[in-house]
Amino acid sequence: MNSLFSQEVPLSWYLLLSAALFSLGIVGFLIKRNLITMFMSIELMLNGVNLSFVTFAHQWHAVKGQIFVFFVMVVAAAEAAVGLAIIIAIFRTRATLAVDRVDLMKL
């Protein structure tokens, strides 16, 4: 029981998880045909990168890595606000969210 509590996890596992999340985000961006879900895949990629930032901050005991994640969160919040406003504007003019139907620059 004691050994179970003192178990340690190699940091490479955290990095592999972050790489897997990033790849799943790319795959989602490629296979999804809905604007909102594609946007969610981008958030998934951002989260994967954040995890590797936190892992390296732990590895080198550097606070700045964590602060960078904080900035990424701020930018992601701004990006979500603007991106969703764009999606709403697209939906108003096209009445669809399928990317295959949004293929003209001008109506």
In the region spanning residues 47 to 86, those forming contacts with other proteins, defined by CB under 8 A, are 47, 50-51, 54-55, 57-59, 63-64, 66-67, 69-71, 73-82, 84-86
Residue 98 DSSP code: B
Number of residues that bind other proteins (CB under 8 A): 73
Query: In the set 49, 91, 94, 102, which binds other proteins (CB under 8 A)?
Result: 91
Helices (H), 33-62: 35-60
Residue 34 DSSP code: B
Query: In the set 6, 104, 105, 106, which binds other proteins (CB under 8 A)?
Result: 6
| Maximum CA extent, the chain | 67
Nearest approach, Cβ of residue 104 and other proteins (Å): 16
For the chain, what's the residue count?
107
Tokens of 74: 């701020």
